[in-house]
Structure 1
């Protein structure tokens, strides 16, 4: 396990394999991150030795998750999320437990414990990460897996994801309260429906104004292209750019008021940006609203305007149109409005006084 030397704010690792000592700094003050770094160091150390002398196929949970992060997730847009999920898994499951010793009882204990503090959907995403890590270890590193663990069966029922649409009045209030240098982030979300990770990872080489499309790398490392209309083209052309690398490569930047000279830096998923967004929602008196709801707003507005569910599904990057069906209530509203002007007797019924402020 990592340890913190006297007078050091960083955790360190120090272990032996086949009599060989491996030690160094984890370069982090976060204990859970340090465990992931140590796990990666252990795998690297084992690979550097003669594998014949090491029991083949035996990896701990910590090693499996650390290796998966290093091999696959570290350079993905969702790397920060994967690291957070890894911390959650290792905070309850036993990090030193061999993969082959994992049981359904341990998995169920994890599910029960996590459900007490977070949503069912979060628990399921973490179990899915564990499953991906185990499959990766078996396929690439020939790890021995437990024979009777079915992570899919351990997943719990999720409540249907709510769809919260920003009204035009709320939108005006939000932009009035939001820091001006973060307006482009919110505007881009409303204009494209892209996820936060896709927005903050977007770089200028992926934006082709000549062909009118943006290359998007989405969840699962799938690539798709988003079309650039005239409004989006004008918006992208007007964006301020950072002066220094690597920030200048990124499309969306903000003013770092804490740094000397207040330079423009790339926006990341961390760094307190979401706290600023939530504070703006509170100041604007917009209740029950999250940044991801800007994506929902894009989808509902576009579906209401076009009536084309398949088109909206493609623009959102959904692989299955069933995922887009959560927005079908918009079409139901339109059909209800159409029926308001239809009558079997020829007498047009009075329209319902109910109005949708989001139109």
Structure 2
């Protein structure tokens, strides 16, 4: 279990946990073996003191599921109930596994309460998790607990933390000079495939996983259209299939890569390693925003700056909501520019 600051009223006593609750001059204590038992006991003692009623019976599902069992259930089911085969399956799983690592592998669902969740999130903060990362972790845990209720593994959902306000970060995009330098570096080290890979990412705005799984059969060089099916044909991030038009540069990058099972024979580790080498070469190793996903931001930024409507950009990138696309609206506020021109005309 990760090192963390224990919640008020709980402290270590040797290998066990001592629970000490006081309310209006009345005090109750208990000693238990694990932290999650201590959290549950604290809630039980607090309720007993505030209501004046002793809680002798445990919840009906005291022998219910563990958090690991609940996660296994979610992974066994397809959308919309579960995560099996979803593009976010791996990341959502890691988020819940983070909770399991902190709370303990045998933690029962009925022992998970707000105090324990808050202690986990405090530990996440200590590990420098951002508010957006913490929101994703809470959302994943909530999904698992809600499904457990549906299948009888838990009686009721514990009180969950509110979503945190996420920082609006600057949208980083690749300049033309940086783009040229990237291509030159990859070609210089004999990795024309990575140069072509980055070019297609920038020209299409595709996600890394979408391009890594792009097959020659999905590319129509004659009509200039790419059908984006996502990860292993399971759909894109939002579960839909979309088409993307090819620029001349994109078509040139793909036309010599139409013979294998996929257009690019690159692994995730290959791409990450080569991108990190390029960052170092360009002197951008300390630029935390210069990650591979910046290629997608670059495509979106260029479309918006060229005056392409936001609904069209949404369709091009495959955003499920226009709200996501609106992040790029400030790059070319067309309505505001037209308003300024109207004022000039009135002068």
Q: Same fold (TM over 0.5)?
A: yes
Aligned to 2:174: 166
Aligned to 1:90: 100
Specify whether residues 226 and 62 from structure 1 end up closer, same or farther in structure 2 by C-alpha distance, changes over 3 A only.
Answer: same
Unmatched 5+ stretches in structure 1: 1-54, 242-247, 255-266, 347-359
Correspondence 1:182-193 to 2 at 5 A:
182-193=194-205
Q: Aligned equivalents of 1:284 and 1:338: distance in 2?
A: 40
Unmatched 5+ stretches in structure 2: 1-60, 230-234
1:149 aligns with 2:158: yes
Q: Aligned equivalents of 2:152 and 2:117: distance in 1?
A: 19
Q: Aligned equivalents of 2:115 and 2:302: distance in 1?
A: 46
1:304 aligns with 2:305: yes
Aligned-residue offset at 1:69: 2.9
Between structure 1 and structure 2, the one with the greater Rg is 2
Aligned to 2:145: 134
**What's the TM-score, normalizing by structure 1?**
0.65
Matched-pair contact (CA < 8 Å) for 1:62–1:95: yes
Q: Aligned equivalents of 2:339 and 2:181: distance in 1?
A: 32
Q: Aligned equivalents of 2:141 and 2:95: distance in 1?
A: 9
Aligned to 2:65: 59
1:174-208: CA deviation from partner (whole Å, max 9, x where unpaired):
22223422123212211221222322233445445
**What's the TM-score, normalizing by structure 2?**
0.67
Residue 227 of structure 1 aligns to a residue whose secondary structure is strand
Aligned to 2:246: 229
Correspondence 1:1-359 to 2 at 5 A:
58-72=64-78, 73=83, 75-117=85-127, 118-139=129-150, 142-151=151-160, 153-178=161-186, 179-207=191-219, 212-216=225-229, 217-220=235-238, 222-229=239-246, 231=248, 232-239=250-257, 241=259, 248-254=260-266, 267-268=267-268, 271-286=269-284, 287=287, 288-332=289-333, 339=340, 343=344
1:35-81: CA deviation from partner (whole Å, max 9, x where unpaired):
xxxxxxxxxxxxxxxxxxxx899211012223323444453333442
Aligned to 1:46: none
Q: Aligned equivalents of 2:278 and 2:68: distance in 1?
A: 39
Matched-pair contact (CA < 8 Å) for 1:99–1:146: no
Residue 305 of structure 2 aligns to a residue whose secondary structure is helix
